[in-house]
Structure 1
Amino acid sequence: MDDLFDGLEIPVAADFHVHLRDGAMMEAVTPTIRQGGVDTVFVMPNLVPPITTVQAALDYKKRLQAIEPNVNYLMSLYLHPSITPDTIREAKKAGIAGVKSYPAGVTTNSSSGVVDYEAFYPVFEAMEQEDLVLNLHGEAPPSPEAMEGSGASRQITVLNAEQEFLPTLNALHKRFPKLRIVLEHCTTAAAVEAVKGCGPQVVGTITAHHLFLIIDDWAGDPINFCKPVAKLPSDRIALLQAAASGDSKFFFGSDSAPHLLSAKKGLTDGGLGAGKCAAGVFTQPNVVGFVLEGFERAVKAGVLKREVLTEEVIESFTGRSGRKFYGIEEARGKIKIRARNVQVRNVKVGKAGEGENMNETVVTFRSGKPTYGVDWL
């Protein structure tokens, strides 16, 4: 059953959640988009400072295009108090694809995120009118002060933060039923069911790494640590089944998030101190291969049946459904999948690399292991 997808030809993939950073990191990771079999990406705006104006988004797009012009970059704004209904109207005219909401403090560069969603109701109303997409990082902010017997009504940790956010998703959808909403990087069976329970304007993205990981894979391993964290085996099964269902409500968004190895290790002060490890899993150079490998592993485990993984289902998840949701043209090219014998490699940033300072290298998910390769046709 090895190399289940060797020789498969499918349309070029689209990745509806990527982090491309800026500066030297951007220069290192942007060329890996096409390497992974992708020609269209939805770009996250959580730079430092965040992308909160239309001009900043357009300038960022130009920087990306200068590195790799053969990619369609869908740009977004960071939901911030400075965003107004007029900003939304300007964004629509400029071709901005969406607005990303980060709950304050839950993940990388989210310190300027949302505390009160009601404060943004006028913005959401304008987005509904202009048909701009709201992209939700679906986690409730943590409550580390909550203790047993403290009287706190919500005790939120990384393990239940997504589930605690789902009432907010439902409330936003109920109040703005025509607003297109993406619940990004779903990690739980509850999130899958929540998306299914909403109208057609609400969809969910699923990453490649969440098709592999459970709690045990990131506890103690910073390379596999991301937000939202991977959950239970039953949650992984729910994600695999949703991704392989052919349901257009679920499509691919890698949430590929590059960090230097030093940041993943939590090293500070030149490695003399230790802080929190950075949240994010980097998959961009091998995203299509990882998705197919995840499906293959699920077939071997008896979680999925081979016959459900038709070309139509794979094409739907890896691009067609997302392109339709965002209203962009279908893929023009095709890719051919090669046998699962391509070694996953790390990415050098600037002049650093494996032969120099490993702490200044971006370690790719499943580094050193074989996965499917991709040829452009």
Structure 2
Amino acid sequence: MSNSQTQIELIQPDDWHLHIRDGDVMRDALGDTARQFARAIIMPNLNPPVTTVDLAKAYQARIESNLKSLGINGFTPLMTLYLTDNTLADEIQRAKAEGIAALKLYPAGATTNSDAGVNDIKRCYQVLEVMQQVGMPLLVHGEVTHPDVDIFDREAVFIDQVLEPLRKDFPELKIVFEHITTKQAAQYVRDASTSGKNTIAATITPQHLLMNRNAIFAGGIRPHNYCLPVLKREEHRIALLEVATSGNLRFFLGTDSAPHAKGAKESARGCAGCYSAFNALGLYAEAFDSVGKLNRLETFASFYGPDFYSLPRNTKKITLTKKAQNIPSEQPFGDATIVPLRAGETIAWSLS
């Protein structure tokens, strides 16, 4: 990567955690992402969820149809399956053969469209054993959902109650601890023993690098800054920024861009999710620039993700420019509108 004060050239990144929904709204979410990224891990929490290879292939066909209608070439959706208590081991074998990239673990009730998620991870042990054998990564939404656990503590409790026992039982299972939000998660992934094999990694979102939980309440409720896992204290944001910019190969880019129509966010029971796809790379550049680590953006954004997934790195180069850009207050989203992250604000970096 070459960089100067006002411009950065880097290998085109991938997004290792993305929601694009389905139906009419997919086109708008997909267009924003494909403008910046070469590949993306597509989340399977549709309604109903993508639980089988056949459903994943059908979803992929809909994505490719939208890409064609948008005139976009060179973007590859990486499909995933939604793990449930009833997932069959045979489906994992087929998924591996059909090029499915990973399975996603949602604890039941943890986030949007997660009601069909896993209630007891031990019910999935036969499936996890096959995943370990064939090298299929498990992507985890790392929160417990017990009502007696404070929402700000759910990630730390997940590490102790679920993740650490899981890794002991399946030491060679590749796990991505997705959208981490706490210093406990950052330190756990950084320091985890893997017996010489790279079996654990974590994705980090732009909102968790740039904002703490005050952003949800500044001057009143800010529903478009509400996501799950929820933003945490400033000490956690600092810890995430430290590991993201450290050059550690276990941490890489995953936006968790999660589109919801403006009305669904600004309601009595507003949906969780930040829509960062509009200018995700500019947001990441801002975060790295804030601590003088732009020289480490490329490895975080472009190298460590494909390395973990055993995929080739991209070769095309892109350029980010430090030039003020106004983020629109809202933009089209199907027959409604959506409010992007940092709407109405000016950010410093954008894709040239």
1:362 pairs, out of 338, 341, 346, with 338
Q: CA deviation at 1:4?
A: 7.1
Q: Which residue of 1 aligns with 2:288?
A: 295
Which deviations, in whole Å up to 9, do the C-alpha atoms of 1:325-350 show, x marking residues without a partner?
11111112111112231222333023
Q: Which residue of 2 aligns with 1:217?
A: 215
**Distance (Å, rounded) in 1 between the aligned partners of 2:5 and 2:266:** 35
**Matched residue SS, 2:38:** strand
The answer to whether 1:80 aligns with 2:56 is no
Contact 2:288 2:297 in 1 (8 A): no
Q: Which residue of 2 aligns with 1:56?
A: 55
**Matched residue SS, 2:343:** coil
Contact 1:173 1:202 in 2 (8 A): no
Which deviations, in whole Å up to 9, do the C-alpha atoms of 1:261-294 show, x marking residues without a partner?
111012xxxxxxxx31100000012111000112
Q: CA deviation at 1:170?
A: 1.0
Q: Which residue of 1 aligns with 2:65?
A: 66
Normalising by structure 1, report the TM-score: 0.86
Which deviations, in whole Å up to 9, do the C-alpha atoms of 1:100-155 show, x marking residues without a partner?
01111111001111110000000000000010010000000041xxxxxxxxxxx3
1:348 pairs, out of 304, 327, 332, with 332
**Distance (Å, rounded) in 1 between the aligned partners of 2:334 and 2:271:** 20
**Distance (Å, rounded) in 1 between the aligned partners of 2:257 and 2:5:** 23
**Distance (Å, rounded) in 2 between the aligned partners of 1:216 and 1:42:** 30
**Distance (Å, rounded) in 2 between the aligned partners of 1:106 and 1:277:** 15
Matches within 5 A, 1:36-185: 37-68=36-67, 69-143=73-147, 155-167=148-160, 168-185=162-179
**Distance (Å, rounded) in 2 between the aligned partners of 1:318 and 1:189:** 20
**Matched residue SS, 2:286:** helix
1:202 pairs, out of 200, 204, 216, with 200
Contact 1:215 1:232 in 2 (8 A): yes
In percent, how many aligned pairs have the same letter?
A: 35
Q: Which residue of 2 aligns with 1:28?
A: 28
**Matched residue SS, 2:14:** strand
Q: Which residue of 2 aligns with 1:331?
A: 314
**Distance (Å, rounded) in 2 between the aligned partners of 1:21 and 1:350:** 11
**Matched residue SS, 1:52:** coil
Letter in 1 for 2:136: L
Q: Would the alpha carbon gap of residues 294 and 4 (structure 1) be closer, same or farther in structure 2, given more than 3 Å must change?
A: farther
Q: Would the alpha carbon gap of residues 5 and 12 (structure 1) be closer, same or farther in structure 2, given more than 3 Å must change?
A: farther
**Distance (Å, rounded) in 1 between the aligned partners of 2:5 and 2:176:** 29
RMSD: 1.4
- How many residues of Structure 1 are paired with residues of Structure 2 in the alignment? 335
**Distance (Å, rounded) in 2 between the aligned partners of 1:340 and 1:234:** 29
**Matched residue SS, 2:157:** helix
Q: CA deviation at 1:205?
A: 0.6
**Matched residue SS, 1:30:** helix
Letter in 2 for 1:171: P
**Distance (Å, rounded) in 1 between the aligned partners of 2:5 and 2:111:** 34
Q: Which residue of 2 aligns with 1:257?
A: 258
Q: Which residue of 1 aligns with 2:233?
A: 232
Q: Which residue of 2 aligns with 1:9?
A: 9
Contact 1:76 1:100 in 2 (8 A): yes
Letter in 2 for 1:226: C
**Distance (Å, rounded) in 2 between the aligned partners of 1:27 and 1:91:** 26
Normalising by structure 2, report the TM-score: 0.92
Q: Would the alpha carbon gap of residues 338 and 309 (structure 1) be closer, same or farther in structure 2, given more than 3 Å must change?
A: closer
Q: In terms of mean alpha carbon deviation, does 333-342 or 314-323 score higher?
A: 333-342
Q: CA deviation at 1:65?
A: 1.2
Which deviations, in whole Å up to 9, do the C-alpha atoms of 1:289-319 show, x marking residues without a partner?
00011222x33xxxxxx2x442xx2111102
**Distance (Å, rounded) in 1 between the aligned partners of 2:109 and 2:189:** 24
Q: CA deviation at 1:5?
A: 5.1
Q: Would the alpha carbon gap of residues 227 and 202 (structure 1) be closer, same or farther in structure 2, given more than 3 Å must change?
A: same
The answer to whether 1:191 aligns with 2:190 is no
**Distance (Å, rounded) in 2 between the aligned partners of 1:5 and 1:33:** 26
Q: Which residue of 2 aligns with 1:354?
A: none
**Distance (Å, rounded) in 1 between the aligned partners of 2:74 and 2:58:** 17
**Matched residue SS, 1:223:** helix
Q: Would the alpha carbon gap of residues 233 and 102 (structure 1) be closer, same or farther in structure 2, given more than 3 Å must change?
A: same
Q: CA deviation at 1:59?
A: 1.0
User: Could you list the runs of 5+ residues in structure 2 that have no partner in the other structure?
Assistant: 68-72
Q: CA deviation at 1:218?
A: 1.3
1:282 pairs, out of 266, 275, 286, with 275
Q: Would the alpha carbon gap of residues 347 and 170 (structure 1) be closer, same or farther in structure 2, given more than 3 Å must change?
A: same
Which deviations, in whole Å up to 9, do the C-alpha atoms of 1:188-234 show, x marking residues without a partner?
00001111232220111100111111111113211100000110111
**Distance (Å, rounded) in 2 between the aligned partners of 1:88 and 1:29:** 29
